[in-house]
Amino acid sequence: MFNRSHVLVTGAGGFLGTNIVKRLIQDGALVRGILHRRNPQYKHPNIEYVTADLTNMEDCRRAVEGMDYVFMCAANTSGAAVMATQPLAHVTPNVVMNAQMLEASYQARVKKFLFISSSAAYPPSGDRPVAESEMFDGDPYEAYFSVGWMKRYAEVLCRIYSEKIKDPMKTVVVRPSNVYGPYDKFDPDRSHVTAALIRKVIERQAPLEVWGTGDDVRDLIYVDDFIDAVMLAMKKIEGFEPVNIGYGDGFRIRDVLNTLLEVDGFQDARVVVNPAKPSMIPIRLIDVGKAKALLDFTPRTNLAVGLQKTLEWYRENHGIQLTSKNISRGLITASSA
């Protein structure tokens, strides 16, 4: 599907965008990657990087010109602290970017447009995995109200372009759980929980602080598995058919940390929980049966293996070496990163 095709990836300097660009290059695509404030993390002769502001419609039109497919990965994102104090930071720029990129892609006669939504947009479901059909059964969790409705609005726009207009454009919507892995954001102000814990373990922070109680439950999927599912969705889905992409199991945050400590040999970590720090929702599980049935997708990477791969990538790319002196003791400080 992608061999010698012209494929646009917005947010190409970010976590998901970088991993999608790498996979497209492996599949033989000719990639145009859109950057904004970040520099590219991966380079290849078949990638054309373009700097653009997707809140500007002219930049959107310029970005999609001549493209066959679009992967919409650009988004203004951040961690729990920003979401708790500045909820509109996730709304206004993203609404504008999503709407304008859909319109520019439609005008450019793009064959298929993929939008990365979020499982955070679902209403509360307690400890039960939530299915795709439940997205609009109620408001999102209060902590995710703003970003959840932003994602929902983008999904409605995708449906309009796919079903409700003359000469429709095929749109694909995937709803990921919590994705982690290489090229993630690891800086404390913007990272999500898994990346934040990985950095704290690598730096041997003492004490090692966990935000919230540590009992929040998340479905964590390794990025290579997520990209497998995204590519299957782009190839197989021909109508508006949103699909959950996740590992299919839940992990308490404290269990994620314990797995990190174990695979990295951090034996005497002094862990403290801080319930005063912002956390988001107590449990978020998603039903992944549709991905199995529709895409024949099953994740291959268990939590321990995925965390080990991410730890190794971080050390290799951030110049931190694991030595006999700092394997078990807090001898790596924040200034080492």
Residues 83 and 53 occupy one common structural domain: yes
Q: In this structure, is residue 139 part of a structural domain?
A: yes
Q: In this structure, is residue 292 part of a structural domain?
A: no
Domain containing residue 199: 193-216+249-284+301-336
Where are the alpha helices (H) located in the chain, listed in sequence order? Answer: 15-26, 57-64, 80-85, 92-107, 145-163, 193-202, 223-236, 253-263, 289-295, 303-318
Q: In this structure, is residue 328 part of a structural domain?
A: yes
Whether omega before 275 lies within 30 degrees of 0, making that bond cis, reads no
Cα 188 to Cα 41, 184, 235: the distances in Å are 19, 12, 36
CB atoms near residue 276 (< 10 Å): 7
Residues 102 and 233 occupy one common structural domain: yes
User: With helix as H, strand as E and coil as C, how does 147-204 read?
Assistant: HHHHHHHHHHHHHHHHHCCCCCCEEEEEEECEEECCCCCCCCCCCCHHHHHHHHHHCC
Residues 158 and 11 occupy one common structural domain: yes
Q: In this structure, is residue 90 part of a structural domain?
A: yes
DSSP string, 100-134: HHHHHHHHTT-SEEEEE--GGGSPP-TTSPBPGGG
Residues 63 and 125 occupy one common structural domain: yes
pLDDT tens series, the chain, 337 aa? 999 999 999 999 999 999 999 999 999 999 999 999 889 999 999 999 999 999 999 999 999 999 999 999 999 865 555 556 667 777 999 999 999 999 999 999 999 999 999 999 999 999 999 999 999 999 999 888 999 999 999 999 999 999 999 999 999 999 999 999 999 999 877 788 899 999 999 999 999 999 888 899 999 999 999 999 999 999 999 999 999 999 999 999 999 999 999 999 999 999 998 888 766 788 999 999 999 999 999 999 999 999 999 999 999 998 666 554 454 444 333 333 2
Return the structure tokens found at 20.
């999608």
Residues 237 and 255 occupy one common structural domain: no
**What CATH number did the domain enclosing 202 receive?**
3.90.25.10
Residues 159 and 234 occupy one common structural domain: yes
- Long-range pairs, 195-199, Cβ under 8 A, ≥24: 196/79, 197/253, 197/256, 197/257, 197/260, 198/260, 198/307, 198/310, 198/311, 198/314, 199/314, 199/337
Q: In this structure, is residue 294 part of a structural domain?
A: no
Q: In this structure, is residue 99 part of a structural domain?
A: yes
Cα 167 to Cα 61, 66, 161, 200: the distances in Å are 19, 18, 9, 51
Q: In this structure, is residue 55 part of a structural domain?
A: yes
Residues 228 and 332 occupy one common structural domain: no
Residues 253 and 241 occupy one common structural domain: no
Q: In this structure, is residue 256 part of a structural domain?
A: yes
Q: State how far the Cα of 203 lies from the Cα of 303, in Å rounded to an integer.
A: 20
Residues 164 and 310 occupy one common structural domain: no
Task: Say what angle helices 92-107 and 145-163 make with each other, to 10 degrees.
Answer: 10
Domain total of the chain: 2
For residue 72, the cross-strand partners are: 10, 115
Residues 103 and 198 occupy one common structural domain: no
CB atoms near residue 142 (< 10 Å): 11
CA 152 to chain centre: 16
CA 323 to chain centre: 31
Residues 55 and 116 occupy one common structural domain: yes
Residues 44 and 176 occupy one common structural domain: yes
**What CATH number did the domain enclosing 46 receive?**
3.40.50.720
